[in-house]
Amino acid sequence: MTCRLSTVAVCQCMTKVKVQLFPDIVDANDDVPLGTEGWDNWPGWGEETDEASKNASKKASQNDWLHACLVSLSPCGDLMAISRNDRAMLLKAKYEDQGGNGSGVGYEIIKELYDAEEKAKISSIMCLPLASHNKTSYGAQDWTCVIIGFTSGYVKIYTEVEELTILYPKALVVVDGFSLYQTLRACRNQVARAAAGGSELMTPPPLAYKKWGLQEQDIVYDFVSCGVTSTNAFDQLCSSSLLGGYGASTKTSTSATYLYVTTGVGPYTGFFYAAEGSSQPMLSEVALNMASKLKTAFINQMSSTGSKYLGGWLGQSVKPNKEETRPKIEPPTPLHIKFGLPDLRRHGETLSLSPNGNLAATTDDFGRVILIDIGRGIVVRVWKGYRDAQVGWIKVKDSSESQRKLKKAARVAIFLVIYAPKRGILEVWALQQGPKVAAFNVSKNAKLLYPGYGVLGLGSTVSEEIITHQCSLIDADGAIRTLIVPFHLALSDKNSRRARDLQLLNELKGLLKEHKCDSCELQQDVLSKLRAVKAASIVQQGLERVLSTRYLEPATMQEIVGCILAQINSHEIQPGAVEEKILHHFCQLYQQLLHTYRDVCALKGEPPSLEAASTGDSMSLAVLLNTTEADVENIEQLLSEYRASSVRDRVRFADATDMEVGKFFACFHGNPSSQDSVNVERLTIRLNGELQDDKRLSLGAFLFGPVLAGNYSSSKLLVVLKASGILPENFFSLLLHYWLSKDDWQVGATNLYSMVKDLSIWQGENKTNDSATWWQTMRTRCSVSTCISSASIAALVGQSVSALLNCNGHSSEQSECEKSDAAEKPSEKISESEWLDLSSDAEQWRYLVQQLQDLLLLGSVFKSQPVMEESAEKTGFGDILLSVDSMLFGGRGAITDLVARWIGKVGITAKAVSMALRSDIDLSIDSDEAMHTDESLDELAGKSAADDDMHVNTCKAQLRKLVMHFPHSVSHDSVLSNCCWEYAVCWNKDPEMVGLLQQSLQFLKLIKNGILQHGVAAMLWHTFVLQKFEATARLMEKVKKSPKASLCRKEIGMTDTALRDMMAQCCSLLDIIMQADVEAEEIPVYGVIEEPWMSCQGPVPLVELVIDQRLCYYAPVSLHYQLAVVLHAILTYTLKSVKPLSLYHAKEASCFFKDLQSLLVLVTNVNIGARTEFLKKLITAAVTALPLPVSSTSVGSEQVESYDVTDVGTPSTSTTDNTSALTNAAAKQEILNVVEMSHWCSKAIELGLEWQGINVDSLRMHYVCELYSSGYDKLAEEVLLTVSNHSAIGLDLLVIAGQRLISLRSNLGTKELVDSRTHVTLNLQYWLDTIGNSTLRSQNISLPELQMLVSHVINQIPEQRWEYDIAMELFESVQSMNM
């Protein structure tokens, strides 16, 4: 790659710009219409000779008018300003169609700037882009500001130091870049508010500046600011010794200074150093006036145009107030010159600083360009013969691959650009003493633009990342060109042959880029350039570019590669020509690949061959696959079921069998080496080992897709493949990869059989690979593939071909003969001994085929959607992928685990799974019971068979199919155990879904074997439940009540509702552990697996882990169960002021949340008072949670007392006659509430019995009293029969009866009340006044209920007590009211 001058934009409006800036110049080509010129316009016809000379000079000025203008192009390229005298034109970049000019970027005039009141002329103009600090566009350009300098000063912007420097005849003003940036942003914001009619204008931020008076230099024409510099210690010591002599004192550290370099007269070049931190003038009237003027100019321009470019310096500005006094100008701070480059006759004109700040280039009136080293202050190089030269700089980074691998900062090269308008030449020089790397003939009327600054407002690190225009050349016709210089030119020699070859390579790349289609002329041009290249490595790069061009035809590529190969073969290659040897191998490699690619494409263009057609009946397949017809039918049935279950309503696309030649090349490599011989007829080509799967699949479809589809025979393709030089194992790998990539093949196994057989015979002829390794590769591919149907067919084909080749010694003729003999005698029965092969290879094939057939059955079941009458909670598992390899390394329980995962994914209920997996005769049923249930079992079996006939895809039918095929892996208890575990795992991932844990326990309850059930339950407890159970107990112990939802979510990870449901499941789980009959059961024998999977390796099955678990002791399980009931009760009824762990002794509390296999000694008579109080509180909460009965005849008052609490959905036998009354949902809900209340009260009494030392009779009495207080008399009467302390319960009920009487009398009228009082004795009335009715919950009481209650009281109280008399009087009073 060489240096080039590229056109980046074309300005079509340069004629209008010239007319506006030079109104006195009339261009005949622009102003005179076409066809209007005549004889009068010719010089000499009625005109003088001096007029002709005037026109000639005028015509010359028309061409070089751009030299008289000031041009500034924004580094971002979005804005350009052209000015002359007191006028300026602003041009904005836009994208447009330039036709054949190449670039799509142009410029249009957006504003003409002119101020008639301004006396001074424009001496400098610049377009300064300002950076955006928004988060979304940080570092990008925000807007562009146009800064104009008049004859009173000179303006420059330096990216490194970010400062604005203004040169006056006697002073140098330096404005801080940050202050300038803030001021410009503030002015723009004020302009926007003023344009919108908003708030008043505010004073912009002041400008911080420094004012220096340059001393000891006569005239300064130009200058540069080099930023902060510091001298080295040696120079400092030398300066101190020269100035102070022997006894001079020196500073230990050098001070940082600002360096300003000037050019002009006397001396020619001056170096000024300003100490950093020196005193600078404070903000004065000069700075305020500058800011006000800057603000006013911005406001006037934006108010008049509304443009985003603040270019209104010469627009409609506010007239200055002549009455205002001129501000006082402070004197500058003297800045003495430190040293210079004296030259009395030389006058410096311009000075340009390099991007790195180390070099500077000056131009003078002698036509010299002088390169100055800034750091040392010396001239390092001089160029002669460049009058009126314009200079610029280009900074290039090394982006080569070798540099990127080093992971270091990129190397940087600086080039000097010199434009000589007198000679019309543009040159690029390598620095400092480098050669001229490029030269271009350009127009003499152009102008070189080098801004020397970037985007204002960015740091140096961010500025380097922003791509800007470094050096551009604008012509008078409007064309803007930029230089592109490669980094390697800084390293090249002037006469380097490699540079010439790189130039040709660059031209070749440009040639290929310009064309869009193939042609003979393009082919000849490419060959001519490649033949002209001398270096073999460059030729190889050119060939790589040719081979990667997408629009070139393969025939063209082959012709080009063949010509280069013939050129190399035309002479003898020297032994030391390493690059030429590599090029020879490269050409030969791609010649073979192109030949193969074209031959394969030619085969696709042929009509379908009759040889490829094949029959697919069972008999021919049996002969082909070397098996029986019954086996073929069985395999076809499995394949059909598998594919039928895999069918989905989706769009299917045909395989793309076409492939671009470039992608075909990328799939192979030949590893060309200089050590190889160049006389090899055919190189060995290998498949790219790093080839991605999608590209490997595309290559397989390109090579073998038509063969497998039956378009042409495999023998034709084999001829092409043998001539390619590619190894047969690579083609075999591609064939297997393509075949095993999908499951929905619509072709049979015949075509695959032919292709595999031909490749295997070819491999045997070449002997490039061992036969055992060849077939082991195929078995490995089939084992890891998840496309089961394709893998099954491939395994059958591999088994048949392997047996055929082993028996016939790789003789294709003999195999064909045997096949024809077998076809002539299809009726003969082939004995098993004839095909029995006890070799290791045959056994491996047999096991693989059986394993794949098993997976076909599993896959057909797993991909089905069975019909279910009732569905359970689903686990949310994705698709189950099957492969032989994953099953072999999944352990002996892999099949059981996958079946359980499918059950959870589909959502089959535990009851349905258990019924489907049970055997015909349940072994747990006694023989006597079995005799009575034979008839019912037959009926169920018949009904089930009828259902299966109606819905073949029922869950029972699918599970039955699995049980018949996998009798060991899909056993009843194994599957239920794994289902239980899978649901528990899913619940552990999402604790909010407590339904998953409930479904897990449903499977756990149906496990028959007590030891297995006990072990699974214990593992569930320790693995998933114990941690959350402990966190809940400790949290409730801390807050002494049911925690709120936010606290539960923070501490436990679930809401309070989910926590309550989880605690209910904890009670069920612990109850299962206690109820498991582990002593009566024998240890089950698991681990037996079907024969094809006996070599499984991997994790131990779940059932074996469960059996190895130690049995849990009853005491710790019972203790945790008690705590679980307590926690569940608190969460259910939101009981307060209860510390659950404090209800237990310290020794018992220390055993909580530990292994259930540890011994525990229970402590009796502990915290009896606190426990009794808690249980009574629980009974009260359970009873008070019931809704009050509406009346004595309300639904449920006569039915709920005999309701069977063990079955929520069905009433007991004594209430079957009354079930018709339960027709509404409210009555059913009332019964459910009563059942729940009875359950909790029973739990409270059970806890009282387990907590030794508690008076359980007192709990029953409290239960009876609460029921009577709530109006549930029938339920209370049943519980009353269980109370043994009749005297105490009688006294309690006497109080309730008295309160009921008071409540009943309060609802009577005046007359009825007077009558009732006449039947009440004074003793009874006094007693009624003392008890009150505040504790009575239900006030709706009937007289019959009260009378029944009083009769119960009389039966309970002994006659010797005085309360017995009160009860009798109360009975008589109630009886009199009933009369």
Q: Side chain identity at 870, as an amino acid letter?
A: E
Which of 524, 593, 590 has its CA nearest to residue 561? 590
Q: Is 50 exceeded by the pLDDT of residue 299?
A: no
CA angle 116, 118, 119 (to 5 degrees): 105
Q: What is the pLDDT of residue 878?
A: 81
Q: Is 80 exceeded by the pLDDT of residue 744?
A: no
Q: Is 80 exceeded by the pLDDT of residue 1191?
A: no
1074: tokens are 């206690």
CB 1013 within 8 A of CB 1072: yes
Any residues with CB less than 8 A from the CB of 1134 and at least 6 apart, and which?
1041, 1042
d(CA 706, CA 254): 81
Q: Is 60 exceeded by the pLDDT of residue 615?
A: no
The predicted model gives 344-372 an average pLDDT of 93
d(CA 52, CA 1111): 124
Percent of the chain as helix, strand, coil, to the nearest 5: 50, 15, 35
Query: Where is 42: in which H helix or E strand?
Result: none
Instruction: Choose between 876 and 1172: higher pLDDT.
Output: 1172
Which of 776, 772, 698 has its CA nearest to residue 734? 698
Read off the DSSP letter of residue 1333.
Answer: S
Q: Where are the beta strands (DSSP E) in 52-104?
A: 70-73, 79-84, 87-95
457: tokens are 């407002």
d(CA 601, CA 887): 41
Any residues with CB less than 8 A from the CB of 617 and at least 6 apart, and which?
none
d(CA 1060, CA 1051): 15
Q: Is 80 exceeded by the pLDDT of residue 561?
A: yes
d(CA 640, CA 617): 15
Q: Is 80 exceeded by the pLDDT of residue 873?
A: yes
Any residues with CB less than 8 A from the CB of 457 and at least 6 apart, and which?
130, 131, 133, 142, 181
d(CA 1104, CA 1085): 9
Q: How confident is the model at residue 467 (pLDDT cuts 50, 70, 90)?
A: low
Which of 454, 340, 478, 585 has its CA nearest to residue 9? 478
CB 792 within 8 A of CB 843: no
- In Å, how far from its chain's centre is CA 725? 42
In this predicted model, what pLDDT tens digit does every residue of 11-59 receive, in sequence order?
A: 888 888 888 888 877 554 444 333 333 333 333 333 344 454 445 445 4
Least confident of 255-259, 488-492, 585-589, 923-927: 923-927
Which DSSP string do the residues of 849-908 spell out, in sequence order?
Answer: HHHHHHHHHHHHHHT---B-SSB------------HHHHHTS-TTHHHHHHHHHHHHHTB
Q: Where are the beta strands (DSSP E) in 647-765?
A: 668-669, 686-687
Q: CA 1291, 1296, 1300, 1302 torsion: positive or negative?
A: positive
Instruction: Choose between 957 and 102: higher pLDDT.
Output: 957
1379 burial type by CB count under 10 A (0-12 exposed, 13-18 middle, 19+ buried): exposed
d(CA 1089, CA 701): 40
Q: Is 50 exceeded by the pLDDT of residue 939?
A: no
Any residues with CB less than 8 A from the CB of 383 and at least 6 apart, and which?
368, 369, 370, 371, 418, 429
Read off the DSSP letter of residue 576.
Answer: T
In sequence order, the β-bridge partners of residue 92 are 79, 108
Q: Is 60 exceeded by the pLDDT of residue 1020?
A: yes
Percentage of the chain modeled with pLDDT above 70: 75
In this predicted model, what pLDDT tens digit does every residue of 1246-1296 receive, in sequence order?
A: 999 888 888 899 999 999 999 988 888 888 989 999 899 988 988 888 888
Q: Side chain identity at 968, as an amino acid letter?
A: H
How many helical (H) and strand (E) elements, i.e. helices and strands, does the chain have? 48, 29
Instruction: Choose between 692 and 936: higher pLDDT.
Output: 692
- In Å, how far from its chain's centre is CA 735? 33
Residue indicated by tokens 């402990």: 1030
In sequence order, the β-bridge partners of residue 381 are 371
Q: Is 90 exceeded by the pLDDT of residue 382?
A: yes
Question: Cis (ω within 30 of 0) for the bond into 432?
Answer: yes
- Tell me what the pLDDT averaged over the chain comes to: 77
Residue indicated by tokens 């790069």: 541
Given the DSSP bridges, would you call strands 209-214 and 219-229 parallel, antiparallel or unpaired? unpaired
Given the DSSP bridges, would you call strands 79-84 and 668-669 parallel, antiparallel or unpaired? unpaired
Q: Side chain identity at 1134, as an amino acid letter?
A: T
d(CA 587, CA 180): 62
CB 516 within 8 A of CB 552: no
CA angle 762, 767, 771 (to 5 degrees): 85
Q: Side chain identity at 126, as an amino acid letter?
A: M
738: tokens are 């393509």
Least confident of 381-390, 407-416, 507-516, 907-916: 407-416
Q: What is the pLDDT of residue 961?
A: 87
* Number of CB atoms found within 10 A of residue 640's CB: 12
Instruction: Choose between 458 and 917: higher pLDDT.
Output: 917
Q: What is the pLDDT of residue 529?
A: 84
Read off the DSSP letter of residue 112.
Answer: E
The predicted model gives 278-307 an average pLDDT of 43
In this structure, what are the phi and psi dihedrals at residue 366, rounded to the nearest 5 degrees? -90, 0
Helix axes 578-605, 693-709, angle to 10 degrees: 40
CA distances from residue 193 to 63, 129, 134, 293, 816 in whole angstroms, order as listed: 45, 21, 19, 18, 94
Q: What length is written for the chain?
A: 1379
Q: Is 70 exceeded by the pLDDT of residue 371?
A: yes
In this predicted model, what pLDDT tens digit does every residue of 236-285 receive, in sequence order?
A: 788 778 777 877 877 777 777 889 999 999 899 999 988 866 544 433 34
Percentage of the chain modeled with pLDDT above 90: 20
In this structure, what are the phi and psi dihedrals at residue 175, rounded to the nearest 5 degrees? -100, 130
d(CA 780, CA 795): 10
CB 1154 within 8 A of CB 1120: no
Would you call 473 helix, strand, or coil by DSSP?
A: strand
Least confident of 343-357, 452-466, 1145-1159, 1311-1325: 452-466
Given the DSSP bridges, would you call strands 412-420 and 686-687 parallel, antiparallel or unpaired? unpaired
1173: tokens are 């109080």
- In Å, how far from its chain's centre is CA 1207? 52
Q: Is 60 exceeded by the pLDDT of residue 1163?
A: yes
- In Å, how far from its chain's centre is CA 635? 42
d(CA 1304, CA 1349): 14
d(CA 924, CA 1008): 8
